[in-house]
Structure 1
Amino acid sequence: MELFAKTLLLCSVLALTNGAPAHQHDAAVDDGHAHAALPDRCEGLEFDAITPDEKGDTYFFKGPHLWKGYHGPAQLSNESFKELDDIHHIGHVDAAFRMHNADNPDDHDHIYFFLDDKVFSYYNHTLEDGYPKQIQEDFPGVPSHLDAAVECPKGECTADSVLFFKGHDVHIYDITTKAVKTKTWSHLPACTSALRWLEHYYCFHGHSFTRFNPVSGEVNGTYPKDARNYFMRCANFGHGGNSKVPKCSDVKLDAVTTDDTGKTYFFAGPMYMRLDTRRDGLHAFPITRAWKEVASGVDAVFSYTDKIYLIKSDQVYIYKGPAHYTLVEGYPKSLKEELGIEGHVDAAFVCPNEHMVHIIQGDRIRDVDLTATPRVVTQEIPLPLSGIDAGLCGINGIDLFKGSQYYQYESAMTLAMSRILPMAKNITSALMGCQD
């Protein structure tokens, strides 16, 4: 676990787990554009626009070039989005964002590019019929010649919205009502591009970025920070420089859980990683970033309703979510008081749409009904193996993790009745993003 936890710490550069290297291109002449050399973002560039596509690959734009993902060389933008140049001949993108509009599947996950007074809509790198349009046709009340744009889903903003930046003015566009409210955030640097990543919002300016609150524009923490330390792989930059993702054979988890929104959390030592849909990558954070009261790691974790339960020693911490977890008043409480058990907990999990938490202690599994008051053990059965590190229950059954391997059972009933150990499976990159 110590090796894996240290490796997670080294992996806190986003470049390590999201995006594929771009392809090299002839730098002499391409589509009529002469280039002495491809630009190098590690030299410190101010991006024109940043946006993820519908697959989660993040694109960084500068002049007629783009970078796909967090590492790799530049390529010409018109090789991925040819109409931006063929139709408009602008040579650069003013702003871009990926639409979040779950109520309208015809619009959801489309990428919008803004060039002067025009807007382009792409899906699967194909320009939608009828585009480009005047910005006012699609986004009435939004000015032209924008500096940056970023989506803001309901729950993070008051309603499903898009934030459009021009100078220090922020035009907040309500996707449903098409109403626009304008605020002036003079304390925030003038953003030349913006990005939403894992419910966090980043304003890029120069070769730096500032994280901000999308509702108030408030900035907490020490900013600006150099983008090369976080959003790209550059020599002599980042938390550990050119570090590598952990090998799957080195993985040893302390706990794992999936919450009601489908986000999966892996815990190892003082670090955790969150996996949404793989579109946004896998990235390591200190546990205190999300659960500030729990500093040095956890023994077990499980999710129930809209809450996440963290078990550390003989204490239970309950956090209410889902967007930003906050400790429920009165916690932590003892294991005995909260769950009716005592002793070290190795793993815990709740299956979807069930109210029973299955708690593994040594070579036994104890069931506790979460709807009962007081909570007591309702069933105790032996396990066919001991030394379990973590457990997870989902639509495909139960996974029990032990070192870099896991054992799969069809259901809690199958686990309870099993007396023969199933064949161990190796943790793979498909399971949690490690390196095979």
Structure 2
Amino acid sequence: MELVTRTVFLCLAFALTKAAPLMQQDSAINDGLPDRCAGIEFDAITPDEKGDTFFFKGSHLWKGFNGPAQLSSEYFKELIGQVDAAFRMHSTDNPDNHDHIYIFVDDKVYSYFNQTLEEGYPKEIQEDFPGVPTNLDAAVECPKGECVTDSVLFYKGQDVHAYDIATKTVKTKTWSHLPACTSVFRWLEHYYCFHGHNFTRFNPISGEVTGTYPKDARSYFMRCPNFGHGGNGNSRKCSDVKLDAITTDDGGKTYFFAGPIYMRLDTRRDGFHAFPITRAWKEVTNGVDAVFSYSDKTYLIKGDQVYIYKAGAHFTLIEGYPKTLKDELGFEGLVDAAFVCPNEHTVHVIQGKMMHYVDLTATPRVVTKNVPLPMSDIDAALCGSDGIKLFKGSQYYNYESPMILAMGRIAPMPQMITSEMMGCED
């Protein structure tokens, strides 16, 4: 991809869709209502089962990342008192509780689903969460993989009470290095401690803070006059999308890459947002040419170098990498795209109008087959349960299988990238 194209796409990628918080703008604030842009401190923050986020302050709340404050009773009419903490439950082993919103007031807990209070609530906190203190400051869900087990983190002062959902046990630790959080928000697998009108991003297991913090929430989680961190407020058009690479890992997370940024595509419920590639894969500093996933590892190809990362909540470069394409996959040259189909052990690598088959179980790895393709200049490729997609500019070509792709001599009719796929605007 040429530099100009990369630059244009980067600018467009940071002009987020309507679902994403970081570039939304609050509408006019009515007289007498609290104003997020005045630098207030939130009492609690939580998404609901649909991915809409509630910001609580006193008797009011904001639904979503733009618009004026509303009375909390318009959504949660049974609440009595000021909200101390709230979180969305993550418990796929117990679908009766999964995605419910738990709201804490003094020594009581309320459970809502679709803004309807569950039967038997409110309850004493100890009934649902034994060992968790009353009069909390904040709470946040922490799924397995981000925490050791499916957990809820409860905050009171600088103590963190990690509640194991399955065993109903609590481990308490003190994070004196982290500001006392008045609310905590999990968004796109990152954790944000809100304190005053600022926030600090932290590791949910260790409390470690990396990067320059605190930062002003008005520059990131709402749009306020004289605040902002980039972008021009325009929506990203699907006709402008041009990928460098795309992959789905073994955990079902789909990433697309363009220039120096990447975006998660499986987070549409909670919004789309572009991040620098170096945020997740810090050693890859100049974008990627191709990416594929295999055996809980992510392979990033740039030039003649292959970077292999162990997948997880945080990607870790495997010792000894990067290595050359020749050493790792048995061929040389620049790569246009690569993909591995689910439950298979062959990576298909596209170079120009040729596709190489490489057996990932072999040692050393070598090309086992070369087949011509009916087209060239492919930008990215993805294989899933619905077949193979070859991306070329803002269009893609769908094939049922690698065999049909290899045997085809005429390309199928191209289809346009849609807003459902990439979070862009048609």
TM-score if structure 1 supplies the norm length? Answer: 0.91
1:254 to 244, 258, 266: 244
Task: Render the CA deviation track for 1:236-281: whole Å, top value 9, x for unaligned.
Answer: 3222255233211111111111111111111111111112241232
Task: Give the aligned residue type for 2:293.
Answer: S
Q: Partners in 2 of 1:236 and 1:284 — Cα distance?
A: 22
Query: Are 2:227 and 1:237 aligned?
Result: yes
**Contact 1:161 1:172 (C-alpha < 8 Å) held by counterparts:** yes
Counterpart-to-counterpart distance in 1, 2:312 and 2:171: 27
Change (3 A) 1:3 1:206: farther
Judged with a 3 Å threshold, the aligned counterparts in structure 2 of structure 1 residues 26 and 274 are, in CA distance, closer, same or farther, namely: closer
1:71 corresponds to 2:61 = no
Counterpart of 1:334 (choices 312, 316, 324) is 324
In structure 2, how many angstroms separate the alpha carbons of the residues matched to 1:142 and 1:131?
17
Question: SS state of the match for residue 404, structure 2?
Answer: helix
Report how far residue 43 of structure 1 moved. 2.1
Deviation at 1:218, TM superposition (A): 2.2
1:17, CA displacement in angstroms? 3.6
Name the SS of the counterpart of 1:289 in structure 2. Answer: helix
Matched-pair contact (CA < 8 Å) for 1:17–1:245: no
User: Whole-Å Cα distance in 1 between the matches of residues 130 and 16 of structure 2?
Assistant: 35
Task: Report the secondary structure of 1:407's partner residue.
Answer: strand
- Correspondences of 1:6-405 after superposition (within 5 Å): 6-8=8-10, 11-12=13-14, 17-18=19-20, 36-84=31-79, 88=80, 90=81, 92-240=82-230, 242-405=232-395
Instruction: Confirm or deny: 8 A CA contact 2:26 2:224 kept in the other structure.
Output: no
Distance 1:181 1:51, change over 3 A: same
1:405 deviates by 0.8
Runs of 4+ in 1 over 3 A off after TM superposition: 1-17, 19-27
Contact 2:26 2:222 in 1 (8 A): no
| 1:15/1:231 contact within 8 Å kept | no
> Could you tell which deviates more after superposition, 261-270 or 54-63?
54-63
Pairwise CA distance, 1:136: 1.2
Residue 15 of structure 1 contacts residue 70 of structure 1 at CA under 8 Å; is this kept in 2?
no
Q: What is the alpha-carbon distance in structure 2 between the residues aligned to residue 231 and residue 363 of structure 1?
A: 45
Q: Relative to 1, partners in 2 of residues 1:295 and 1:359: Cα closer, same or farther, differing over 3 Å?
A: same
Give the equivalent residue in structure 2 for 1:409: 399
Which AA in structure 1 matches 2:311?
Answer: G
Shift of 1:155: 2.7
Q: Deviations over 1:375-414 (max 9, x none)?
A: 2222211111111100011111111011111111111111
Partner of 1:78, secondary structure, is helix
- Identical positions, percent: 74
Q: Matched residues in 1 for 2:64 and 2:213: separation?
A: 23
Q: Which residue of 2 aligns with 1:32?
A: none
Q: Deviations over 1:121-151 (max 9, x none)?
A: 1112221111111111111121211111011
Give secondary structure in 2 for the equivalent of 1:336.
Answer: helix
Query: Tell me, what secondary structure is at the counterpart of 2:139?
Result: strand
Instruction: Give RMSD over aligned pairs.
Output: 2.2
How many residue pairs were aligned?
A: 423
The AA in structure 2 aligned to 1:315 is Q
Matched to 2:33, the amino acid is: L
Quick one: distance in 2 between partners of 1:228 and 1:12? 17
3-state SS of 1:149 partner: strand
Paired residue secondary structure (2:326): helix
Unaligned runs of 5+ in 1: 28-35
Structure 2 unaligned blocks of 5 or more: none
1:202 Cα deviation from its structure 2 partner: 0.9
- Residues 15 and 245 (structure 1), Cα distance of their counterparts in 2 relative to 1, 3 Å cut: closer
